[in-house]
Amino acid sequence: MSHAGLSSLETQWSTSDVMYGRELMMGTPFWESPRTWLDQSPVAYAKDFKTPILLSVGENDFRVPMNNTLEMYAALQRMRVPTRLLVWPDENHWILKGENGKVFYREVREWLARWLK
């Protein structure tokens, strides 16, 4: 299960509202050490993806923008990993609306029940 998860540190840096913070954590801007950034990006390991995953994202998330989730979804689909994508058009980084929360937790529960045996 991944909600508001990132797939690529470079993508996260270039689209998030906290790009300078990412440079501080990495110790350098992307262009000065691209290998370091790539080595820590989950999508760089897509060839090894096998675990079914439920992806969830709010369309109004400026902390981890939706493109990260779509990038991960594309990689998982390309690797033929069982995947489900939930997009919340009226949510941001957190699922805050009551009805959306009910649906979110129901989806998580059903996903885990299906895949954890």
CATH code for position 89: 3.40.50.1820
Other CB atoms within 10 A of residue 103 CB: 14
Expressed as residue numbers, the domain containing 106 is 2-115
- Across the strands, what pairs with 83? 53
Domain total for the chain?
Answer: 1
The pTM assigned to this predicted structure is 0.90
What gap in Å lies between CA 8 and CA 12, rounded to an integer?
A: 6
What is the tens place of the pLDDT at every residue in 43-91? 999 999 999 999 999 999 999 999 999 999 999 999 999 999 999 999 9
